[in-house]
């Protein structure tokens, strides 16, 4: 049972039932997570620097709390667990370091959908680690990969710039899948708070090094950009992730993963309203196909192994 779970929570997770309170928390979590794409697209600060700041600020908020409440847990953690948590933080940095810059090249809808391919990548990585995948999961993977080819083909007809963005977003999904699998292993031994604090801190350090090496500007932004970064940190980084992890105590991980896919249409609607960024009609079938494939993969894995929530 997850640390801090109420009695019977494991049974509720296995049955896939969701309380009314959890449903409201999930809805709020999805809404908060869906703001990431539009906020980054609206900002003029370097995307890689935004990735650094959202992790650094998140770590600043979490570290004092974890240091005060979970010091004994951190001291008692094995070296292998801590090293795996650090590796997960590196994967998280790579996820943000590719997904956020992709929003400078392609539409929010395309980038967000391709990022959600992390569900498919997580299944493939889990298979490499020995997990058995049902036939339906392989069908979902094939469907998702076909939709990726369709989506990138459409974007290629629009511009090579959009194709570059698709490639970065797809890499973001790949690294997100690796982060999910590594995190699933770490959270067998570490609480969510400790794991999250380590990940954010590690990701911030890796992204800071990347920003310095590439000469990214880390300050001197417009006041509006700092507001976007603050909103991104509070909404997507702290609330979005935290609410997903919170409901995992009593809600099926499959339900959480499937609900997380609603980030794509919500982000697209926000981009259309706030940025006047409407996805080309030709991309809509590919987006729907990608979400359908990811849904099949998640549902097929439900009876094989627990799935972690999305990362954005």
What is d(CA 230, CA 50) in angstroms, rounded to the nearest whole number?
10
Tell me the pTM.
0.84
Tokens, residue 58: 């998140």
CB distance 30 to 263 below 8 Å: yes
What's residue 2's pLDDT? 39
> E-strand spans in 44-113?
none
Average pLDDT over residues 269-278: 87
What's residue 235's pLDDT? 94
The better pLDDT of the pair 135, 95 is held by 95
CB distance 109 to 200 below 8 Å: no
Q: Which of 100-109, 157-166, 269-278 has the highest mean pLDDT?
A: 100-109
Give how far the C-alpha of residue 228 lies from the chain's centroid of Cα atoms, to the nearest Å.
18
Closest CA to 48 of 96, 4, 107, 2: 96
Please tell me what DSSP assigns to residue 104. Answer: T
pLDDT averaged over the chain? 84
- Residue 4 pLDDT more than 50? no
Residues 6 or more apart in contact with residue 23 via CB below 8 angstroms: none
Residue 243: pLDDT band with limits 50, 70, 90: confident
What's residue 184's pLDDT? 81
CB distance 104 to 159 below 8 Å: no
Going from N- to C-terminal start, the domains of the chain cover 18-301
Tokens, residue 79: 């070296």
Residues 6 or more apart in contact with residue 165 via CB below 8 angstroms: 102, 103, 104, 105, 106, 107, 110, 111, 155
CB distance 63 to 282 below 8 Å: no
Q: Which residue has the tokens 């809805």?
A: 27
Average pLDDT over residues 224-243: 92
**pLDDT digits over 154-168, tens only?**
777 778 888 899 999
What's residue 287's pLDDT? 83
Q: Specify the length of the chain in residues.
A: 312
Alpha carbon distances (Å) from 216 to 20, 178, 208, 210: 45, 26, 9, 8
Q: Return the H-helix or E-strand segment holding 208.
A: helix 192-214
What is d(CA 43, CA 224) in angstroms, rounded to the nearest whole number?
8
What is d(CA 143, CA 153) in angstroms, rounded to the nearest whole number?
15
């Amino acid at each position: 049972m997850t640390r801090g779970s109420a009695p019977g929570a494991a049974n509720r997770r296995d049955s896939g039932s969701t309380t009314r309170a959890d449903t409201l928390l999930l809805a709020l979590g999805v809404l908060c997570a869906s703001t990431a794409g539009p906020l980054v697209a609206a900002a003029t600060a370097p995307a890689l620097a935004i990735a650094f700041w959202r992790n650094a600020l998140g770590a600043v908020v979490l570290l004092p709390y974890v240091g005060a409440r979970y010091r004994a847990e951190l001291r008692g953690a094995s070296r292998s667990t801590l090293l795996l948590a650090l590796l997960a933080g590196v994967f998280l940095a790579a996820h943000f370091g590719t997904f956020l810059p992709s929003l400078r090249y392609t539409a929010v809808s395309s980038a967000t959908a391709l990022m959600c391919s992390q569900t498919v990548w997580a299944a493939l990585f889990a298979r490499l680690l020995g997990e058995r995948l049902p036939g339906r999961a392989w069908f979902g993977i094939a469907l998702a990969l076909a939709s990726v080819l369709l989506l990138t083909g459409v974007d290629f007809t629009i511009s090579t710039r959009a194709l570059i963005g698709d490639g970065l977003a797809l890499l973001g999904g790949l690294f997100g899948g690796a982060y999910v699998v590594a995190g699933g292993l770490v959270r067998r031994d570490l609480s969510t708070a400790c794991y999250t604090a380590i990940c954010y801190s590690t990701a911030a350090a890796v992204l800071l090094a990347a920003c310095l090496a590439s000469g990214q500007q880390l300050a001197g932004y417009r006041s509006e950009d700092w507001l976007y970064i603050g909103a991104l940190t509070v909404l997507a980084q702290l609330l979005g992730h935290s609410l997903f992890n919170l409901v995992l105590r009593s809600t099926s991980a499959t339900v959480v993963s499937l609900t997380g896919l609603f980030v794509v249409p919500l982000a697209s609607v926000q981009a259309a309203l706030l940025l006047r960024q409407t996805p080309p009609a030709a991309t809509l079938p590919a987006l729907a196909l990608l979400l359908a494939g990811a849904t099949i993969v998640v549902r097929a894995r439900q009876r094989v192994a627990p799935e972690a929530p999305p990362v954005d």
